[in-house]
């Protein structure tokens, strides 16, 4: 038996679904509330995994799962999508546990597929009068529109926090005060980030829950269904609305006792049959394939594109701190001509950071090599993007016989001592703050990097003269990826700025290509890299993924 949580993707009729699983035994599917993701289920998943195979899905449009291809899906559509996902995973029958939106999906799944559901357990099943539901959709589900100044980030933080202060969140009067504590910073950080991940699409699944005729459904469910509610929850006062024959339960207010009580209820009607092992994620047309490689103590996200054939693969290391998601267009442009494998190093993007793992270039390089070994990748071309060039150089230095060539895009090739002098003050802390200012701080750090070098020296003499990459959508994506691991942001910058890149590069006997676009952060330092790589081509390219890919491919042997 293992209670270790592992994460996976599965493709379901052309749609990507993300989920995690832990434990052994009869399955219980876990469906989260809006606007968060399956990560919100981490505590009950740990508790349930003692007796079950606990599988937590990202609902359509949340976390890393795609939206349904419907303009206005209803809860029934989401329940049907769940059934198809279980088909893809080979799960014939399951218990279902859901919170709020997830509770509606779970109960509707039980109604539609009674032979496939041993028990539906809800934690805050949504019951709305029709007029209230219509008002909620109009006033509760505010559109999210990224703005040039990053103000939408503060709105998201306070909007998410205030749903624990008022009910509804926009009530803001004494009679609307919520009967609960404001969660701790880690909880708020996770929820606000998942809200940001869903973006304006959060309104799609959320609205379906408000439109759902929950009260009418209860009498139609023919399998055991327990409707649990916790004191302090927004749905707790609806317990008086249930028909007398409904199985209701008052669940403890606190999270851990609640999960223990819910595990006991789940044990009354376990599902039949075993849960097959997780299956590899299949490809989707013109989209990168996402999956995880299992390491001894963690998982690393792998993003692939291109035919996995006899051609030597190109391995991409992303700009750090950051993730491969920010290079998706480049990965596809390259992958149309040869296989590309891109990895999020530990503590970045969707890759875990194992307990005690040090955020250093050397540690990242060692884990990337370990992942490539697990994937069976023996010889490869190596592309380092921006600060990711430090990791690429370290890998090439360590296992040079396996690296066919080294391509460095705008490496941070500062003169000796220059990076070390910058490191202590270069990156601000983005650890969560109670008022959400850490998100605004990151936004303006990333924005000012495009306007001055270094970003904190805001004088005419230090002005960057290239077109700044400060579009609201682009900056929002960069904030989103960095905020997945706020604790690694400053250490990552310190690691790449203090790494002896020029000395290490000079000692790395691997065919090397240098390239940069004018707007790259470290474009001004490309000549310093060229000085220690005599004979290395220096490619000055345009800023699009297609232009970069064409330049790389034209200098890529074999």
Segment 141-153, tens digit of pLDDT: 999 999 999 999 9
Specify whether 234 is located in the same domain as 376.
no
Are residues 385 and 301 part of one domain?
yes
Q: How many other CB atoms are there within 10 angstroms of residue 156's CB atom?
A: 22
- CATH, residue 252: 3.40.50.1820
> In the prediction, which pLDDT does 408 show?
98
pLDDT tens digit sequence for 287-312: 999 999 999 999 999 999 998 777 89
What was the pLDDT predicted at 558?
62
Q: What is the pLDDT of residue 354?
A: 84
Burial pattern 350-376, b for ≥16 Cβ within 10 A else e, equals: bbbbeeebebbbebbbbbbbebbeebe
Strand-strand pairing, 380-385 and 313-317: parallel
Dihedrals phi, psi of 550, to nearest 5 degrees: -60, -40
Sign of CA dihedral 299, 300, 304, 308: negative
pLDDT at 538 over 50: yes
Q: What is the dihedral of CA 340, 286, 343, 537, to 10 degrees?
A: 40
What was the pLDDT predicted at 557? 73
Residues 321, 227 share a domain: no
Q: Which of 389, 423, 431 is nearest to 406 (CA)?
A: 389
**Phi then psi dihedrals of residue 407, to 5 deg:** -115, 125
For 58-206, list the strands marked E by DSSP.
94-99, 117-123
Q: For residue 392, is it within any domain?
A: yes
CA distance linking residue 440 with residue 206, whole number of Å: 26
Q: Is the distance from CB of 41 to CB of 30 less than 8 angstroms?
A: yes
Whether 320 contacts 309, CB under 8 Å: no
Residue 489 forms part of a structural domain: no
At 1, the pLDDT band (50, 70, 90 cuts) reads very low
Residue 462 has pLDDT above 60, yes or no: yes
Residue 177 lies in a domain: no
Average confidence score pLDDT of the chain: 96
Do 61 and 11 fall within a single domain?
yes
Which residue segment(s) compose the domain that 256 sits in?
A: 6-128+212-266
pLDDT of residue 132: 73
**Using CA of residue 485, residue 487, residue 489, residue 493, what is the dihedral sign?**
negative
Identify whether 439 is part of a domain.
Answer: no
What would the mean pLDDT of 178-194 be, rounded to a whole number? 97
What is the number of alpha carbons within 13 Å of residue 48 lying toward its C-beta? 31
Q: How far is CA 426 from CA 430, 459, 491, in A?
A: 12, 16, 11
On whether both 218 and 337 belong to a single domain, the answer is no
Strand, coil or helix: 427: coil
pLDDT at 368 over 60: yes
On the question of pLDDT at 457 being above 80, the answer is yes
How do 117-123 and 225-229 pair as beta strands? parallel
What average pLDDT does the segment 345-354 reach? 94
Q: Are 106 and 113 in contact (CB under 8 A)?
A: no
Say if CB 210 and CB 75 are below 8 A apart: no
Q: Same domain, yes or no, for 111 and 235? A: yes
Q: Which DSSP helix (H) or strand (E) runs through 405?
A: strand 403-409
> Has residue 423 got a pLDDT over 80?
yes
Q: What is the pLDDT of residues 488-536, one digit of tens each?
A: 999 999 999 999 999 999 999 899 999 999 999 999 999 999 999 998 9
Q: How many domains would you assign to the chain?
A: 2
Q: Same domain for 410 and 540?
A: yes
Given pLDDT bands bounded at 50, 70 and 90, which one contains residue 131?
A: confident
**What values do phi and psi take at 432, rounded to 5?**
-55, 140
Q: Is residue 379 part of a domain?
A: yes
In a domain, 486, yes or no: no
305 shares a domain with 384: yes
Domain identity same for 110 and 77: yes
Q: Does residue 356 share a domain with residue 239?
A: no
Same domain for 382 and 242? no
Query: Would residue 140 count as lying in a domain?
Result: no
202-238: pLDDT as tens digits: 999 999 999 999 999 999 999 999 999 999 999 999 9
Q: Say which residue the tokens 């601000």 belong to.
A: 428
- Does 117 reside within a domain? yes
301 plus 340 within the same structural domain: yes
């Amino acid at each position: 038996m293992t209670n270790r949580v592992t994460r996976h993707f599965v493709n379901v009729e052309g749609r990507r679904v993300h989920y995690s699983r832990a434990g052994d035994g009869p399955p219980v599917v876990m469906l989260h509330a809006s606007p968060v993701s399956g990560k919100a289920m981490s505590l009950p998943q740990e508790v349930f995994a003692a007796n079950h195979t606990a599988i937590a899905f990202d609902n359509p449009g949340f976390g890393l799962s795609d939206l349904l291809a419907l303009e206005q899906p209803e809860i029934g559509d989401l329940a049907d999508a769940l059934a198809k996902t279980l088909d893809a995973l080979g799960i014939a029958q399951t218990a279902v546990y859901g919170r709020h939106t997830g509770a509606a999906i779970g109960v509707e799944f039980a109604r539609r597929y009674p032979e496939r559901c041993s028990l539906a357990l809800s934690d805050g099943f949504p019951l709305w009068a029709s007029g209230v539901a219509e008002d909620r959709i109009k006033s509760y589900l505010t559109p999210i529109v990224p703005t040039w100044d990053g103000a939408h980030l503060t709105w998201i933080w306070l909007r998410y926090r205030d749903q624990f202060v008022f009910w509804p969140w926009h009530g803001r009067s004494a009679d609307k005060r919520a009967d609960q504590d404001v969660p701790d910073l880690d909880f708020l950080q996770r929820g606000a980030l998942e809200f940001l991940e869903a973006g304006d699409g959060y309104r799609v699944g959320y609205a379906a829950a408000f439109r759902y005729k929950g009260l009418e459904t209860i009498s139609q469910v023919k399998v055991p269904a327990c409707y649990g509610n916790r004191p302090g929850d927004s749905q707790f006062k609806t317990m008086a609305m249930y028909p007398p024959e409904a199985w209701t339960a008052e669940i403890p207010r606190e999270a851990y006792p609640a999960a223990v009580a819910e595990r006991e209820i789940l044990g009354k009607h376990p599902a039949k049959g075993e849960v097959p092992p997780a299956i590899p994620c299949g490809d989707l047309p013109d989209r990168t394939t996402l999956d995880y490689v299992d390491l001894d103590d963690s998982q690393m996200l792998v993003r692939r594109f291109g035919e996995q054939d006899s051609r030597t693969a190109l391995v991409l290391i992303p700009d750090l701190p950051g993730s491969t998601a920010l290079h998706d267009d480049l990965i596809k442009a390259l992958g149309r001509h040869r296989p590309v494998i891109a990895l999020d190093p530990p503590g970045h993007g969707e890759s875990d950071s194992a307990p005690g793992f040090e955020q250093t270039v050397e540690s990242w390089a060692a884990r990337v090599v370990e992942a490539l070994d697990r994937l069976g990748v023996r010889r490869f071309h190596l592309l380092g993007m921006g600060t990711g060039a430090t990791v690429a150089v370290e890998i090439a230095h360590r296992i040079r016989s396996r690296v066919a060539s080294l391509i460095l895009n705008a490496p941070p090739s500062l003169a000796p001592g220059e990076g070390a002098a910058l490191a202590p003050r270069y990156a601000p802390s983005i650890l969560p703050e109670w008022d959400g200012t850490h998100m605004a701080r990151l936004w303006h750090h990333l924005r000012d990097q495009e306007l001055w070098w270094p970003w904190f020296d805001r004088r005419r003499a230090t002005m960057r003269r290239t077109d700044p990459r400060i579009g609201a959508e682009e900056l929002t994506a960069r904030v989103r990826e960095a905020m997945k691991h706020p604790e690694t942001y400053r250490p990552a910058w310190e690691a790449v700025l203090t790494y002896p890149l020029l000395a290490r590069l000079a000692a790395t006997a691997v065919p090397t290509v240098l390239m940069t676009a004018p707007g790259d952060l470290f474009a001004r330092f490309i000549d310093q890299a060229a000085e220690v790589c005599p004979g290395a081509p220096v490619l000055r390219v345009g800023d699009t993924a297609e232009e970069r890919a064409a330049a790389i491919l034209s200098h890529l042997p074999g």
